[in-house]
Amino acid sequence: MLDLTACPAPGCSSTAQIYDRSTMESTDGPVEHVRVRCLNRHHFLMPAAMLTSPHLAGDAQAAASAPSGSP
């Protein structure tokens, strides 16, 4: 599944792909991190909470799980 977001680089408005997710331990407990790369070749490893826009793939998942077949 393709997981898309906006590029977190300042001034870059390209689409970016979240290509890896992992959880890293911290003194406050586990923190979910994502690896992001955009069409302009920016690469980031950052906490998922710092993503600048909602995941576009999350909207697609919600649409796919919605009941269908209503006339």
Domains of the chain by residue range: 4-60
Yes or no: say if 32 and 1 are a contact pair by the CB < 8 Å rule.
no
Could you read off the pLDDT of 23-39 as tens digits, one per residue?
999 999 999 999 999 99
Query: Of 55, 35, 51, 34, whose CA–CA distance to 43 is shortest?
Result: 35
This model's pTM is above 0.85: no
Fold of 4-60: Thrombin, subunit H (2.40.10)
Q: What is the rounded distance in angstroms from the CA atom of residue 61 to the CA atom of residue 7?
A: 21
Could you read off the pLDDT of 39-58 as tens digits, one per residue?
999 999 999 999 876 554 44
pLDDT of residue 2: 86
Confidence of residue 13 (pLDDT cuts 50, 70, 90): confident
Give 2-67 as a DSSP string. Answer: --EEE--STT---EEEEEEEEEE--TTS-EEEEEEEETT--EEEEEGGG-SS--HHHHHHHHHHS-
